[in-house]
């Protein structure tokens, strides 16, 4: 497009000449459909003759861009005017407590298993086997952690109900407790949740300051057991030493735990964000 000189743009429409006008006026006319590409002509300093607005490079391209911006601005203003949701009651959660339980379960179980393998506690005369008690204690902490995670997952799905989420929270929790089906049902209960949450987040300006949840790490977490199952023949059928197998399994377990931690962190962050919104909602009501 020609170098604009706001003082000397002219346009001719239906045989009538208009101007001088600034370039913005020409763009506004094109944006509003009032300047036809082939029937209406424009002229500015530096042009040898009048040309149709479609022949002047850039006018309608820029007008289209401005129209899209105006359309987005209108939709954004309409979005901002939406009636607030009645946010469901959400209590904050504490990630460190759950991490401590999971850590205790892993440590106790590992020490107990190592004690059985190496007979570490065989010389200690007690009425109970220490290694067995450690494994039982580890299992207890793991069960408590699983129950707490189920409660959090229920909250994570339940808090989306006011935004129109159709998946029942109880069903999402129930699926992860089906024996042996977790590698499949986790895609539904855990893998789909960030998509539902981000969809709810984008649905209303009430949530515009809430952090987006990265969905990719949820899917990687759900896929990881399948990756392990696919790679297991490479580990167990390569005539590896027990120490090598132990290292390989430990590395895999460590990566899986890190992915699990990332998922837990994202879920607890989302729950706490919603808890803060619920608290702000109560404060607004009290102020009124």
Each residue's pLDDT expressed in tens, for the chain with a length of 288 residues? 444 445 588 988 767 788 888 888 888 888 777 787 877 888 888 888 888 888 887 787 777 777 777 766 666 666 666 676 677 788 889 999 999 999 999 988 888 777 777 766 666 665 557 778 888 898 999 999 999 999 999 999 998 888 788 889 999 999 988 888 888 888 999 999 999 999 888 877 777 778 889 999 999 999 988 888 887 777 666 676 767 777 877 888 899 999 999 999 999 999 998 888 888 777 766 665
The Cα 139–Cα 204 span in angstroms is 43
The pLDDT tens digits of the residues spanning 149-173 come to 999 999 999 988 887 888 899 999 9
CA of residue 217 relative to chain centroid, distance: 9
Q: Which class for 138: exposed (0-12), middle (13-18), buried (19 or more C-beta within 10 A)?
A: buried
pTM of the model: 0.67
The Cα 33–Cα 44 span in angstroms is 20
The Cα 190–Cα 61 span in angstroms is 44
Instruction: Determine the pLDDT at residue 59.
Output: 82
For 232, half-sphere exposure in the C-beta direction (CA atoms, 13 angstrom radius) is 8
In what helix (H) or strand (E) does residue 62 lie, and over which residues does it extend? Answer: helix 59-80
Number of H helices, E strands in the chain: 9, 4
């Amino acid at each position: 497009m020609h170098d604009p000189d706001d003082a000397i743009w002219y346009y001719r429409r239906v045989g009538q000449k208009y101007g001088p006008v600034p370039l913005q006026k020409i763009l506004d006319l094109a944006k509003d459909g009032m300047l036809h590409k082939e029937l209406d002509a424009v002229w500015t300093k530096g042009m040898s003759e009048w040309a149709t607005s479609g022949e002047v490079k850039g006018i309608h391209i820029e007008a289209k861009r401005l129209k899209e911006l105006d359309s987005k601005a209108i939709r954004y203003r309409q979005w901002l005017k939406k009636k607030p949701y009645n946010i469901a009651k959400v209590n904050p959660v504490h990630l460190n407590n759950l991490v401590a339980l999971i850590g205790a379960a892993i440590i106790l179980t590992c020490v107990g298993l190592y004690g059985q393998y190496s007979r570490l506690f065989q010389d200690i005369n007690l009425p109970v086997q220490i290694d067995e008690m450690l494994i039982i204690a580890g299992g207890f902490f793991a069960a408590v952690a699983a129950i707490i995670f189920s409660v959090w997952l229920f909250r994570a799905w339940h808090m989306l109900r006011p935004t129109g989420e159709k998946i029942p929270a109880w069903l999402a929790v129930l699926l992860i407790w089906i024996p042996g089906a977790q590698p499949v049902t986790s895609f539904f209960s855990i893998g789909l949740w960030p998509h539902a949450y981000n969809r709810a987040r984008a649905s209303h300006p009430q949530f515009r300051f809430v952090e987006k949840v990265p969905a990719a790490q949820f899917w990687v977490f759900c896929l990881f057991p399948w990756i392990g199952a696919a790679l297991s023949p490479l580990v167990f059928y390569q005539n590896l030493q027990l120490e090598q197998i132990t290292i390989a399994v430990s590395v895999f377990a460590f990566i899986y735990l890190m992915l699990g931690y990332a998922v837990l962190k994202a879920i607890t962050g989302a729950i706490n964000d919603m808890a803060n919104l619920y608290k702000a909602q109560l404060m607004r009501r009290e102020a009124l």
